[in-house]
Amino acid sequence: MTNAVVTGGAGFIGSHVVAYLVDQGWDVTVVDNLATGDAARVHPKATLTQASITDASAMGPLLQNAEYVFHLAALPRIQPSFDDPVGHEEVNVVGTIRCLEAVKGSSRLKKFVLASSSACYGNPDEVPTSESATISCLSPYALQKYAAEQYTLILGERFDIPVVSLRYFNVYGPGSFNPKNPFNAYSSVVGVFHEKMKAGRPLTITGDGSQERDFVHVDDVARANYMAATKAAAGSVYNVGSGITVSINELAHYFGGPVEHIPERQGEALVTHANVSKITTELGWKPEISMAEGIVSLSN
C-alpha cells in the first residue's frame, strides 16, 4: 500500500488532502502539533502523530520512510504574521527546512509536495498571474512562504529530493472556519461570511469590497496535491486556483443579508487571479467545483 505523511493534516486544507488520499487507498500518517489544527478533522483511517515540524528529532523518524510527503503545516494568516514575524518564520521557514532535512537521503521518497501561496505575487502587474510573474511580497507571511518554496527548490535540487510546489490561491470549503483556531478571525472570507450568516450577523467587508479574489474549492486543491505527487516532474511550481475572480462585494451577494465595512488590512493584495494553464496542460488538472456549488457545500 502506498504510504504518505501529511504535515498539518489536522488543519483545514490538510485534512481534505488526507481524506482524498485515504479515498485513493493510501496509508496516511498525519503530523500535526494541533496548535491550530483539530484532531477531530483527521480521517478515522489515518494515523495522527502529535509533533512539531520544528522538532528535528521527531521529524526524522516520521518522514524518513515515507513514499510521499505533503507539507502543509504552517501558520497561514497574513495579519498575524505582522504581529509575530519571528514565530511565523520559525514555523513557516525553519519548519520547512526541518522537513527537507528529514527526507534527505531517503531511498523511498517519490515526491515532496509543498503548500506555497499566491501571496508571494503581491499586487501583480500580470493578471491573470502566471508562475513566472514577478514576486512582490507584501507581508511577512508572503515572504515566508516564498522563502520556504525557494528552500524547497534549492535543497531539492542539491540533495536530489523530488520536490513540487503548489501556489494556492484563495482556498475555501467546508471546515475553513474553525472556532477553536486562535486565528479564526483571519480565516477565509468565505468561511467567515458563512459563519456570520448562520449567526444572523452582518457580513464584515474590509475596505470598499472591490478587492477581487480567485476562490478555489478545497476538494479541487486536494486533487491537485494528489496529481502533483503522482504526475509532476521534480522541481515544478504550479498555481492552484479557479482562474476566475469574484469581488468581495459580489461574494457578499451570494450569501445575502446586511453588510458592514471595516478598515482595509495592511499587506493584502487588491487582486488575486490565477493563470492555471500550466497545471492544466502538464498535469491535466482543472477546477471542477463552481463558486455556487462550493457555497452550497459549506452547509453539507
Query: Closest by alpha carbon to 50, among 70, 69, 31, 63?
Result: 31
Instruction: Walk across the sheet containing 27-31 and list its strands.
Output: 47-49, 27-31, 3-7, 68-71, 111-117, 163-168, 236-240
Place of cell 524518513: 64
The torsion angles phi and psi of 127, rounded to 5 degrees, stand at -135, 125
Q: How far is the C-alpha of 39 from the C-alpha of 22, rounded, in Å?
A: 16
Query: Closest by alpha carbon to 274, among 170, 151, 153?
Result: 170
Question: What pTM did the predictor assign?
Answer: 0.94
Per-residue pLDDT of 2-14, as tens digits, reads: 999 999 999 999 9
Report the mean per-residue pLDDT for the chain: 94
Q: How far is the C-alpha of 241 from the C-alpha of 224, rounded, in Å?
A: 10
Show the low-confidence residues of the chain (pLDDT under 50): 182, 184-186
Interacting residues of 44 by C-beta distance below 8 A, sequence separation 6+: none
Angle at 181 (CA atoms; ends 178, 182), nearest 5 degrees: 140
Catalytic residues: 141
Q: What is the pLDDT of residue 147?
A: 98
With H, G, I as helix, E, B as strand and everything else as coil, classify residue 126: coil
Domain 3-171+217-240+274-288 top-level CATH class: alpha beta
Q: Can you read off the three cell numbers belonging to residue 74?
A: 504552517
Q: How far is CA 15 from the centre of its chain?
A: 11
Task: Please tell me the total number of residues recorded for the chain in this structure.
Answer: 300
Between the alpha carbon of residue 99 and those of residues 66, 175, 234, 281, 287, the distances in Å are 12, 26, 17, 29, 29
Q: What is the pLDDT of residue 265?
A: 80
Torsion, Cα 39 44 49 54, to 10 degrees, reads -60
Q: What is the pLDDT of residue 185?
A: 47
Per-residue pLDDT of 117-136, as tens digits, reads: 999 999 999 999 999 999 99
Q: Which amino acid is at 163?
A: V
Q: What is the pLDDT of residue 179?
A: 64
